[in-house]
Chain A
Amino acid sequence: MARAVSFNRKTVNTALAWAIGLLIFFPILWTILTSFKTEGQAIADPPIFLMFDWTLENYAIVQERSDYLKFLTNSVIIAGGSTLLGILVAVPAAWSMAFVPSKRTKDILLWMLSTKMLPAVGVLYPIYLIFIELGLLDTKIGLVVVLMLINLPIIVWMLYTYFKEIPSEILEAARMDGASLRSEILYVLTPMAIPGIASTILLNFILAWNEAFWTLNLTAAQAAPLTAFIASYSSPEGLFYAKLSAASTMAIAPILVLGWFSQKQLVRGLTFGAVK
């Protein structure tokens, strides 16, 4: 009897998990399906799910109209650069907060997080003016710095949480064995926190990849990443849903593949220390 209840519960839980998973994935699936329709089929009412004439025309048009590889390269450089720079800054900061806390550490952490509560548009003009002065407008390096700064609070918070799970005695032992600060962080702390660091890197790469305020407002023709590529297919006066869907599919494909292959690492990192 107990086995039957357990089996039923398992079945229900599995079905529920699949239902929620499909619900979350449905907008992406719909976007991908729409990208293979004609513009007329894309707006059909009632909507056509699978029974339509599949076409690659939208991809051909998007490929012809836009330099996809240029946008993709910019996205990789900007998202990758900002994530790596952020990790370089955040690891020592999180180490200091986790293992050498001061009485203001909690306040600093909260203050850092509070900067995320400011609407981005509130600082658009000051940052735009600074970019003009420094010649950073429409440059990849400018965006690397800005995205690193806006994601830094999250990186520090995540790393701080992971580092707190590591017993400080291990680091003390390394110090007693004569390890320098650099060696302590590089050869003792970092290997133990690899799952956490990896998931932080992945999450921030995804955040930087999807960032669509600064990447649209601080770029023009040279440094524009895939967010600008998608924005160029949106229009309030003209039906371009199928082409927009094709552009969106091309933009999310690399990050979907990355997420698919690294999901194990990502889940492991995000649940790191969750169960004691």
Chain B
Amino acid sequence: MIRKTSLGVALAVSLATSTAALAETITIATVNNGDMIRMQGYTDQFTQQTGINVEWVTLEENVLRQRVTTDITTKGGAFDIMTIGMYETPIWGANGWLVPLHKNVNFNTNNLSAAYDVDDLLPAMRGGLSHEGTLYAAPFYGESSMIMYRTDLMAKAGMSMPDAPTWEFIAKAAAAMTDRSNDINGVCLRGKAGWGEGGAFITAMSNSFGARWFDMDWNAQFDTKPWADTLNFFKNMMDASGPKGYATNGFNENLSLFQQGKCGMWIDATVAASFVTNPKDSTVADKVGFALAPDTGLGKRSNWLWAWALAIPAGTQKEKAALQFIEWATSKDYIELVAAKEGWANVPPGARVSLYENDNYKKVPFAQMTLDSILSADPNNSTVEPSPYVGIQFAAIPEFAGIATQVSQEFSAAYAGQQSVEEALGKAQDITNEAMEAAGYR
């Protein structure tokens, strides 16, 4: 009897142990934004389908960047999936820190399955998340930047927004729409220091003025006329028609101003379109129009390209489970799932061609302009003059984030009137050249 009981207990223990072993758990580091939070809400469905449990570590973007960089460079293994962007992916892929998701020629068990339809990914996204033709991260959502403007204020100013305006038109329209007595600013743009805030905006804008960060020998180019033109134009327009204190405004501050009806135009990330047209949060939801980011006629527009993507750090013990999750989260089925539950305006945009071929999605007011903006951005050919780097609002080299943060601080100080544009550009030139020399580029 005792032996039977013992055997039963042993069997139960071994069964419980094996069940526990089967119930794999993956840990995902991610950013706090609407689409990512929405995905967390649907994770139970993935667990039901696969039996894989998911644990989330959600952090603010800059904290996340520091956290995952520390972990991947030390091979810490704290995460099985990391949410990273177009800046990190090619650099980390080249360093061998990420598991290749899809190779051009060979499939192996760790690559994305044929059913995933990797060819459906928007070419700009696929290219920006690859290194030498190998995809290292799957885009969860992608974005460019575009003009969001108040149709009522534009009409009141007696002007009409072209689909592809110039900066000259934007400055004129901004002046015409500005109404200080009613607290309406003609244009709201990012001036906040930080490479991903004001730094990203001014870099993308400078491309349209014919500027570039480096020449082909990695010499800084802030002493050139196109950079002076860019900064002077930005400061003059914002001083005349921008909100007070624009030097400290980033995405959130401008979103807040626009939603409260205090901006005539706002040029920023395409994902903002769903926020400003949402009547729950925006007081101007039914008065918003969209247009391509401006240019100066030199052949380059001032829109950027970005994607938040899911990647697997090399060395994780749960590569297969991680790949299963990525396939699920970035699949066509996931888009259908969100559309069915929350409507087409809330699906993660900018990642798949098929989304923009969907008749239901075509009815979303900002869908076509988002696609046009993404398609007009080319990270491999972002500047008028040739440049040695890949990236539009950044240069995909490890040193860029540190340099651009310092440079954008100098620019913000110029916007705030603490120094002249010439002084800011002079300092930017010295900071960049010194850093590039120390890093061995020059």
On chain A, the residues within 8 Å of B281 by CB distance are 39-40, 239
A238 with B34: CB separation less than 8 A: yes
Q: Does A234 contact B (CB under 8 A)?
A: yes
* Binary flags per residue of A112-154, CB closer than 8 Å to B gives 1, else 0: 0000000000001100110110000110000000000000000
B82 to chain A, nearest CB (A): 11
Q: Does B275 contact A (CB under 8 A)?
A: yes
Give me 6 A-to-B residue pairs in the complex whose CB atoms sit less than 8 angstroms apart, sorted by A's number. Answer: A44-B260, A125-B74, A216-B59, A235-B61, A236-B196, A236-B251
A11 to chain B, nearest CB (A): 38
Contact of A234 among B56, B57, B60, B275 (CB under 8 A): B60
B78 to chain A, nearest CB (A): 4
Complex alpha-carbon distance, A128 and B59, angstroms: 19
A65 with B78: CB separation less than 8 A: no
B55 with A221: CB separation less than 8 A: yes
A217 with B33: CB separation less than 8 A: no
B29 with A236: CB separation less than 8 A: no
Q: Does A107 contact B (CB under 8 A)?
A: no
B76 with A224: CB separation less than 8 A: no
On chain A, the residues within 8 Å of B250 by CB distance are 236
Of A132, A231, A237, which is in contact with the most chain B CB atoms at under 10 Å from its CB?
A: A237
* Binary flags per residue of A202-237, CB closer than 8 Å to B gives 1, else 0: 000000000000001100110010001001111111
A221 with B70: CB separation less than 8 A: no
Q: Does B58 contact A (CB under 8 A)?
A: yes
B79 with A220: CB separation less than 8 A: yes
Complex alpha-carbon distance, A239 and B256, angstroms: 8
Q: Which residue of B lies closest to A244 (CB)?
A: B32
On chain B, the residues within 8 Å of A220 by CB distance are 27, 29, 55, 57, 78-79
A238 with B275: CB separation less than 8 A: yes
B419 to chain A, nearest CB (A): 25
Q: Which residue of A lies closest to B79 (CB)?
A: A220
Complex alpha-carbon distance, A220 and B76, angstroms: 11
B66 with A217: CB separation less than 8 A: yes
On chain B, the residues within 8 Å of A272 by CB distance are none
B32 with A217: CB separation less than 8 A: no
Q: Does B9 contact A (CB under 8 A)?
A: no
Q: Does B255 contact A (CB under 8 A)?
A: yes
Contact of A236 among B60, B67, B77 (CB under 8 A): B60
On chain B, the residues within 8 Å of A221 by CB distance are 27, 55-57
On chain B, the residues within 8 Å of A131 by CB distance are 76
Q: Does A68 contact B (CB under 8 A)?
A: no
Contact of A239 among B41, B60, B71, B255 (CB under 8 A): B255
B32 with A233: CB separation less than 8 A: yes
A44 to chain B, nearest CB (A): 7
Q: Does B362 contact A (CB under 8 A)?
A: no
* Binary flags per residue of B170-208, CB closer than 8 Å to A gives 1, else 0: 000000000000000000000000001100000000000
On chain A, the residues within 8 Å of B255 by CB distance are 238-239
On chain A, the residues within 8 Å of B271 by CB distance are 237
Q: Does B166 contact A (CB under 8 A)?
A: no
A237 with B77: CB separation less than 8 A: no
Task: Decide: A231 near B75, CB < 8 A? Known: A236-B197, A238-B32, A239-B256.
Answer: no
Complex alpha-carbon distance, A132 and B177, angstroms: 57
On chain B, the residues within 8 Å of A169 by CB distance are none
Within 8 A of A (CB), among B266-281: 269, 271, 275, 280-281
Q: Does A43 contact B (CB under 8 A)?
A: yes
A236 with B70: CB separation less than 8 A: no
A228 with B70: CB separation less than 8 A: no
Within 8 A of A (CB), among B46-91: 55-63, 66-67, 70-71, 74-79
Q: Does B37 contact A (CB under 8 A)?
A: yes
Q: Does A45 contact B (CB under 8 A)?
A: yes
B44 to chain A, nearest CB (A): 12
Contact of B33 among A45, A216, A228, A235 (CB under 8 A): A235
B61 with A236: CB separation less than 8 A: yes
A235 with B74: CB separation less than 8 A: no
Complex alpha-carbon distance, A232 and B61, angstroms: 9
Question: Which are the 10 A-B pairs with shortest beta-carbon distances?
Answer: A232-B58, A221-B55, A234-B60, A43-B256, A235-B32, A220-B78, A221-B27, A238-B33, A220-B57, A237-B251
Q: Which residue of B lies closest to A42 (CB)?
A: B256
Q: Does A99 contact B (CB under 8 A)?
A: no
A269 to chain B, nearest CB (A): 34
A239 with B252: CB separation less than 8 A: yes
A138 with B275: CB separation less than 8 A: no
On chain A, the residues within 8 Å of B324 by CB distance are none
B228 to chain A, nearest CB (A): 29
